[in-house]
């Protein structure tokens, strides 16, 4: 693959995933939540557009199974799809055809999820329909993003360049989070959630950027002599990498906590009668500046210290939000929530940067040793761990909290407590990582 050599090229390339990630945010935080009214408290009287038709559309117990299965499938399917994109033989190379194969059905499944088969209320038809479409959506999302992330290893040469792309990508994540949790929330005051989902869809065009920037030679002609690895061998190479396996355990705990919060954020703020736009604005707006602090810590103390720092800060922020959820609305509660939001800003950007930087670096190190480009499989296995963790968080725990909140119960408020415990466990496990990862990013002079 032709390497990017200019800084501006790397910045533009890092922007590519923002639109697809925005679709995933809309699906996980708004559209899936809109199928059940539980957890919104009294907000349906104030914000009538939070749900599709202001009533339950799916059977809660069966839907939780579908939601969990979709996220687990999202993780499991990563592995065969990664093997496919790593070994794809076409005249256009490996990565661009895989992006096209995933992008088109991804957009179609997103649009199909906005359709209501039976608006009368809870039906088996609705439950099965949304469950199947959700599985298709996550499968296509996986193909697109695993392929895109795999190029992080191949499209630049050095660890510093991969770190640049990862950091810019994490800033883009914050931008779409601000769009998703502040701007979208404002739009829900006047538009139905399905209309808002359509408004954000054009951002998916950002994924066309790799189609123009990725330059590969034909892999079809190279098939006979190219050094490749089959699915089983690819998995074995990846899982024999002990530092990577240890990292996966930590990453899964972190993902459980973060995704539970992101998946239930809409219901939490609605039930607690808190200003979501104000608090999330205080959380995401300072992130580009707090990333500078995180990068400074990594440069001077290493990745291990930097990542443990952000996990602890995020956990503390979750515990603060949990405690104020039981307070009566007041100026003091608003001030404390803003302080908690600003505290989380010191963590939230870096939480997403590690999803790209660690597997990309480990894959690059393996490629340098073996001569085999197996980068997509690293992101695929990470996706498997992430999918299971997210499925437990949003498909099982969050659904249970939402149903438990019906009838005036405050079960949804415990979402932040459980989320904080997940990231705290990840922080405590950081000590098991080998020094090769602990010192990643640390300046040589240190």
Q: What tens digit of pLDDT does each residue of 238-289 get?
A: 777 788 888 899 999 999 998 888 778 777 777 777 777 777 777 776 766 7
User: Rounded to an integer, what distance in angstroms lies between the CA atom of residue 39 and that of residue 45?
Assistant: 13
Average pLDDT over residues 204-224: 74
Q: Residue 28 — pLDDT band, cuts 50, 70, 90?
A: confident
Q: What tens digit of pLDDT does each residue of 350-408 get?
A: 676 677 677 777 777 777 776 666 666 777 788 788 878 988 898 789 888 887 877 66
Q: Provide the pLDDT for residue 264.
A: 80
Q: Which residue has the tokens 């800003």?
A: 345
User: Rounded to an integer, what distance in angstroms lies between the CA atom of residue 52 and that of residue 34?
Assistant: 6
- DSSP string covering 27-43: IIIIITGGG--TT-TTH
Q: Is the per-residue pLDDT at 417 higher than 90?
A: yes
Q: Residue 45 — pLDDT band, cuts 50, 70, 90?
A: low
Q: Give the dihedral sign, CA 426/431/432/436.
A: positive
Task: Give 102: exposed, middle or buried? Use CB within 10 Å, 0-12, 13-18, 19+.
Answer: buried
Average pLDDT over residues 49-70: 86
| Contact between residue 364 and residue 159 where contact means Cβ atoms under 8 Å apart | yes
% of the chain beyond a pLDDT of 70:
85
User: Rounded to an integer, what distance in angstroms lies between the CA atom of residue 316 and that of residue 336?
Assistant: 12
Q: What tens digit of pLDDT does each residue of 298-316 get?
A: 888 888 898 898 899 889 9
Q: Provide the pLDDT for residue 224.
A: 46
Q: Provide the pLDDT for residue 223.
A: 46
Q: Provide the pLDDT for residue 359.
A: 78
Q: Provide the pLDDT for residue 148.
A: 86
Judged by phi (left if over 0) then psi (alpha if -120 to 50, else beta), residue 93 lies in left
User: Rounded to an integer, what distance in angstroms lies between the CA atom of residue 139 and that of residue 20?
Assistant: 13
Q: Residue 96 — pLDDT band, cuts 50, 70, 90?
A: confident
Average pLDDT over residues 203-228: 71
pTM, full prediction: 0.68
Helix (H) or strand (E) holding 308: helix 303-324
Count the neighbouring beta carbons within 10 Å of the beta carbon of residue 255: 25
| Contact between residue 84 and residue 228 where contact means Cβ atoms under 8 Å apart | no
Q: 166: closest CA among 180, 153, 179?
A: 153
Q: Provide the pLDDT for residue 44.
A: 53
Q: Provide the pLDDT for residue 27.
A: 92
Q: Residue 47 — pLDDT band, cuts 50, 70, 90?
A: low
Average pLDDT over residues 21-49: 76
Q: Is the per-residue pLDDT at 153 higher than 80?
A: no
Long-range CB pairs of 24-27 (<8 Å, 24+ gap) are 24/141, 25/176, 25/177, 25/180, 25/262, 26/180, 26/184, 26/196, 26/197, 26/200, 27/110, 27/113, 27/134, 27/137
Q: Provide the pLDDT for residue 225.
A: 44
4: DSSP letter: P
User: Rounded to an integer, what distance in angstroms lies between the CA atom of residue 241 and that of residue 186?
Assistant: 46
Instruction: For the chain, list the domains and their CATH numbers.
Output: 7-218+229-438 (1.20.1250.20)
Q: Provide the pLDDT for residue 176.
A: 82
Q: Which residue has the tokens 């749900």?
A: 51
């Amino acid at each position: 693959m032709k390497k990017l050599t200019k800084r501006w090229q790397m910045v533009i390339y890092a922007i590519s995933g923002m639109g697809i990630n925005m679709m995933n945010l809309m699906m996980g935080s708004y559209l899936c939540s809109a199928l059940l009214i539980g957890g919104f408290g009294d907000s349906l009287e104030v914000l009538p557009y939070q749900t599709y038709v202001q009533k339950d559309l799916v059977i809660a117990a069966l839907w939780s199974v579908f939601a969990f299965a979709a996220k687990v499938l999202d993780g499991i399917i990563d592995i065969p799809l990664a093997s496919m994109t790593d070994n794809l033989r076409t005249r256009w190379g490996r990565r661009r055809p895989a992006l096209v194969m995933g992008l088109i059905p991804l957009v179609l499944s997103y649009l199909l999820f906005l359709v209501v088969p039976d608006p009368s209320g809870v039906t088996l038809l609705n439950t099965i329909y949304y469950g199947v479409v959700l599985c298709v959506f996550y499968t296509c999302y996986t193909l697109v993003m695993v392929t895109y992330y795999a190029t992080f290893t191949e499209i630049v040469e050095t660890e510093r360049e991969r770190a640049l792309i990862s950091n810019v990508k994490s800033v883009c994540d914050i931008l779409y989070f601000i769009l998703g949790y502040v701007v979208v929330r404002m739009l829900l005051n006047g538009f139905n959630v399905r209309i808002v989902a359509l408004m954000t869809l054009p951002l998916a065009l950002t994924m066309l950027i790799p189609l123009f920037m990725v330059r590969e030679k034909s892999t079809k002609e190279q098939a006979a002599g190219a050094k490749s690895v089959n699915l089983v061998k690819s998995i074995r190479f990846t899982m024999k990498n002990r530092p990577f396996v240890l990292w996966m355990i930590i990453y899964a705990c972190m993902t459980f906590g973060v995704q539970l919060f992101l998946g239930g954020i809409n219901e939490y703020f609605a039930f607690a009668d808190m200003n979501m736009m104000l608090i999330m604005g205080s959380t995401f707006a300072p992130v580009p500046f707090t990333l500078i602090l995180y990068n400074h810590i990594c440069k001077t103390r290493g990745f291990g210290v930097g990542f443990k720092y952000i996990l602890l800060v995020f956990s503390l922020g979750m515990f603060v939000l949990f405690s104020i959820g039981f307070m009566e609305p007041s100026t003091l509660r608003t001030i404390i929530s803003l302080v908690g939001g600003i505290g989380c800003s010191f963590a939230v950007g870096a939480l997403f940067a590690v999803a790209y930087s660690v597997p990309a670096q480990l894959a690059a190190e393996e490629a340098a040793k073996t001569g085999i480009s197996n980068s997509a499989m690293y992101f695929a296995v990470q996706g498997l761990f992430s999918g299971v963790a997210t499925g437990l968080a949003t498909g099982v725990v969050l659904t249970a909290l939402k149903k438990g909140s019906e009838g005036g119960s405050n079960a949804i408020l415990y979402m932040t407590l459980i989320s904080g415990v997940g990231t705290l466990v990840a922080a405590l496990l950081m000590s098991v990582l080998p020094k090769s990862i602990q010192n990643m990013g640390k300046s040589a002079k240190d």
